[in-house]
Amino acid sequence: MDRRNLLTVAAAAALGVSLAASAGIAPAAAQARKVLVVASNQDVPNLDPHVATGYSASAFMRNLYDSLVRVEGNPVKVVPHLAQSWTVSPDGMEYTFKLDPGAKFTDGSPVDANAVVYSFQRLLRLNKGNSWMVAGTLDQSSVSAADAQTVKIKLVKPFAAFLQVLPWLWVVNPKEVEANKGADDAQAWLAKNVAGSGAFKLKRYEPGTLYEFEKVAAPWKSGGGNLTGAIWRIIRETSNQRLALQRGEAHIAVDLTAEDMDQLKDKPGVVSIIEPEFRTFSMKMNTEYGPLADINLRKAISYAFNYKAMEESSSYQQLMVGPLPNGIFGHDPNLAVPRMDLDKAKEFLAKSKYPNGGVKLTFVHVSGLEQVRRFGLVLLDSLKKLNIDLDIKAMVWPDMVASTASPDKVADFFTVYQTGNYGDPDNIAFAAYHSSRNGNWQNPVYKSKVVDDLIMKGRAEPDEAKRKEIYLQFQKQVVEDAPDIFGVLEKRKLALRSDVSGLVFTPVASNAIEFFPLSLK
């Protein structure tokens, strides 16, 4: 072989392997089989309905299990599910649920009152997952079976939002759970297996890749769409979710960014849903330690902050008006909240211990959250006008959580997003402003006896009008205390193929897609 031959052989060897694959890839045949594909970046490593948390877990539970009631519509409504109807005692302390006699688990056994009692007891016993929603409200003897179709729930403490949390407390099949109980209350078994009554069952379980659902042969619920199955596909990059949607490889993408939504505008076959949801962003100030323990300095900053610049730093968000999400029950859209007013800011600064500024404050955010860093830059720019310096620090989430252990470790500005777990003001009010939550990332330091009392009164009041009045007072008081710079409500950004029908937006857990009502053309 001469040099030319050698060259040819080597080049052929190199090129031969470099791109052997050139056959066309047929798009997934999901459409014809009426299998819905949802692209999400969140894995669900644990399927136990009394342990798992996160929006993807909520999506799974919604489809694999059932709860006494469910939420739907916008504004959010609580509607019957396993319970056909219910009554509440006048003092709001006792609930009686009549179960749907047709409800059955996927193994054919009926969903009776005993199953409901068993499920609530297991949830409270494990004290994991969503059990916090009823912690202190229910105990082991609260839920009882009056007869096979009647469940009685006696609250230990009044809780006006009780019906709002019920959609997230799932009923398991006691027969199957008991058969696999083991030494850990069936936690290991339920982490990978399903014992529910949902319209779907799990067909394939491939952590990190996909989860395939198959519709049960005869769901006990009537109606519903034409899906025969669904696939929860893990696509980590949001831009890849967008591309998969454009190519028709996914029917719904649930984690898209503002940039993705911009790119999807006017794309054929794609429908965008951009709706306000109960997801708040606020900059919590350290009311207990450091310069911001001074209420006048906090107020000066609240008035110096450029809210307009914050709102304009990204599309698909709206400014919050006070501590509660806009649109939720009891929210006051006319609340007098601080807006940029430098004269007022300087007035408050003059009254503070730092009349000439000259302090350096720290602002922490989760590393990688570019949008929050931008908010930090807006704050940095605003504070310059008060001669206050700002140090913007990125931290990994566990370090931020660990820093909430005591006020001296919490940064001056602790930034946090909070998603409403249920559509009631109690959710955000209690988690973000009650002093029992101090030392926790949702409310690291702020405490006020007046606010605590209002939150507990709001929780206990069964009368709607009176309850609304309590939340109006609560909002005024929190604004007066200025513990936070009330930031923005992030709009939910969903995109779906135009051949998906039946999706009705609900501002609670809207990315936890429920498959049952959906259809594919």
Partner 1 sequence: MLRYTLRRIVLLIPVLVGLSLLVFTISHLLPGDPVKLAAGPQATQADIDSLARELGMDKPLPVQYWNYATGLVRGDWGQSVLTRRPVWDDLKVFLPATLELVFAALAFAVIVGIPAGLLSGVYANRWPDYLSRVVSLGAISMPRFFLGLILQLVFAMALGWLPLGGRFPIIDEPPPALTGFLTIDALAAGQFGAFWVALQHLAMPAIAMSLSPLATITRMMRASTIEVLQQDYVLTERALGLSQKLIVFKYVLKNAMTSSLTVIGLYVGWLLGGTVLVETVFDWPGIGLYATKAIVSQDFMPVMGVTLAIGTIFILSNLVVDLLYGLLNPKVRYE
Tell me the pairing of strands 360-366 and 519-520. unpaired
Of 222-251, binders to partner 1 (CB under 8 A) are 231, 233-237, 240, 243-244, 247, 249
Q: Is 256 in the site for partner 1 (CB under 8 A)?
A: no
Q: Is 109 in the site for partner 1 (CB under 8 A)?
A: no
For residues 480 and 37, what is the distance between their CA atoms, to the nearest angstrom? 48
Tell me the pairing of strands 252-253 and 35-40. parallel
If phi > 0 it is left, if psi is from -120 to 50 it is alpha, else beta; for residue 223 that is left
Q: Smaller CB distance to partner 1: residue 207 or 269?
A: 207
Q: Which range, of 29-37, 337-345, 356-364, 459-467, touches partner 1 by CB under 8 A?
A: 29-37
Q: Is 402 in the site for partner 1 (CB under 8 A)?
A: yes
Q: Smaller CB distance to partner 1: residue 104 or 447?
A: 447
Tell me the pairing of strands 69-72 and 77-80. antiparallel
Q: Smaller CB distance to partner 1: residue 2 or 266?
A: 2
DSSP alpha helix (H) spans, 65-211: 113-126, 162-165, 174-179, 187-190
Of 424-463, binders to partner 1 (CB under 8 A) are 431, 437, 439-442
* Bridge partners (DSSP) listed for residue 217: none
Q: Smaller CB distance to partner 1: residue 5 or 334?
A: 5
Q: Smaller CB distance to partner 1: residue 101 or 136?
A: 136
Side chain identity at residue 361, one-letter code: L
Residue whose tokens read 């509660």? 324
End-to-end CA distance of the chain: 62
If phi > 0 it is left, if psi is from -120 to 50 it is alpha, else beta; for residue 268 that is beta
Q: Which of 34, 53, 393, 517 binds partner 1 (CB under 8 A)?
A: 53
Q: Smaller CB distance to partner 1: residue 86 or 200?
A: 200
CB of 10 to partner 1, least distance (A): 4
Q: Smaller CB distance to partner 1: residue 132 or 308?
A: 132
CB of 128 to partner 1, least distance (A): 8
> Which are the contacts of 121, defined by CB distance < 8 A and separation ≥ 6?
140, 143
Of 177-206, binders to partner 1 (CB under 8 A) are 187, 191, 204, 206
Q: What angle do CA 229, 230, 231 make, to 5 degrees?
A: 140
CB of 94 to partner 1, least distance (A): 25
If phi > 0 it is left, if psi is from -120 to 50 it is alpha, else beta; for residue 89 that is beta
Q: Which range, of 87-95, 140-148, 313-321, 395-403, touches partner 1 by CB under 8 A?
A: 395-403
Q: What are phi and psi of 399, to 5 degrees?
A: -70, -40
CB of 269 to partner 1, least distance (A): 15
Task: HSE, CB side, 13 Å, CA atoms: give it for residue 465.
Answer: 0
Side chain identity at residue 487, one-letter code: G
* Bridge partners (DSSP) listed for residue 390: 361
Of 205-224, binders to partner 1 (CB under 8 A) are 206-210, 212
CB of 189 to partner 1, least distance (A): 13
Q: Smaller CB distance to partner 1: residue 442 or 477?
A: 442
Q: CA dist 337 to 235, 331, 435, 475, Å?
A: 40, 13, 22, 10
Upstream peptide bond of 75 is cis (omega within 30 degrees of 0): yes
Q: Which range, of 27-35, 72-80, 143-151, 512-520, touches partner 1 by CB under 8 A?
A: 27-35
Count the residues of the shown chain that bind partner 1, applying the rule CB under 8 A.
Answer: 65
Q: Is 2 in the site for partner 1 (CB under 8 A)?
A: yes
Helix (H) or strand (E) holding 146: strand 143-147
Nearest residue to 249 via CA among 40, 31, 34, 520? 31
Q: Smaller CB distance to partner 1: residue 244 or 337?
A: 244
CB of 223 to partner 1, least distance (A): 26
For residues 483 and 299, what is the distance between their CA atoms, to the nearest angstrom? 9
Q: Which range, of 23-31, 79-87, 264-272, 274-282, touches partner 1 by CB under 8 A?
A: 23-31
Q: Is 132 in the site for partner 1 (CB under 8 A)?
A: yes
CB of 144 to partner 1, least distance (A): 25
Q: Smaller CB distance to partner 1: residue 111 or 496?
A: 496
Q: Tell me how crowded residue 93 is: count the other CB atoms within 10 A of its CB.
A: 17
Which residues here bind partner 1, judged by CB under 8 A? 1-3, 5-7, 10-11, 13-14, 17-25, 28-30, 33, 35, 37, 45-46, 51, 53, 127, 132, 135, 187, 191, 204, 206-210, 212, 231, 233-237, 240, 243-244, 247, 249, 396-399, 401-402, 405, 431, 437, 439-442
